Structure 1
Amino acid sequence: MSSKTRIVAFSGSLRKDSYNTAAIRIAIEMAPTECDIELLDISKLPLYNQELDGDKVPPEVLQLAEKVITADAILFSTPEYNYSVPGVLKNAIDWLSRQKPQPFAGKPAAIMSSSMSQLGGARAQYHLRQIMIYLDVHFVNKPEVMIAGAHEKFDSHGQLADATTRDFIGQLVTALITLNHKLGPSETTYE
Structure 2
Amino acid sequence: MLLKVAGSLLPDDVDFEIVKYDDIPVYNEDHDTPKASERPASVTKFRELLEAADAFIIASPEYNYSIPGGLKNAIDWASRGKDSPLMHKPVAVMGATQGLWGTVRMQAAFLPVFTFLNMNPVLQPEVLIAQAQNKFDDAGHLNDDMALGLIKKKLEHLVSASKV
Regarding TM over 0.5, the answer is yes
Find the aligned partners of 2:90 and 2:60 in 1 and give their Cα distance. Answer: 17
The structure with more strand, counted as a fraction of residues: 1
Letter in 1 for 2:43: V
Task: Give the secondary structure class of the aligned counterpart of 1:127.
Answer: helix
Q: Residue in 2 aligned with 1:163?
A: 145
The alignment of Structure 1 onto Structure 2 pairs a total of residues equal to 161
- Is 1:52 aligned with 2:34? no
Find the aligned partners of 2:153 and 2:15 in 1 and give their Cα distance. Answer: 15
Find the aligned partners of 1:77 and 1:133 in 2 and give their Cα distance. Answer: 18
Find the aligned partners of 1:125 and 1:78 in 2 and give their Cα distance. Answer: 9
| Matches for 1:1-191 after TM superposition, within 5 Å | 22-54=1-33, 55=35, 56-181=38-163, 184=164
With the length of structure 1 as denominator, give the TM-score of the two structures: 0.80
Q: Which runs of 5+ in 1 are unaligned?
A: 1-21, 185-191
Task: Give the secondary structure class of the aligned counterpart of 2:16.
Answer: strand
Q: Which runs of 5+ in 2 are unaligned?
A: none
Q: CA deviation at 1:110?
A: 0.4
Q: CA deviation at 1:168?
A: 1.5
With the length of structure 2 as denominator, give the TM-score of the two structures: 0.93
1:109-162 deviation digits (Å, cap 9, x = unpaired)? 101010111110000000012222101111012111000110110122211111
Find the aligned partners of 2:123 and 2:82 in 1 and give their Cα distance. Answer: 28
Letter in 2 for 1:91: N
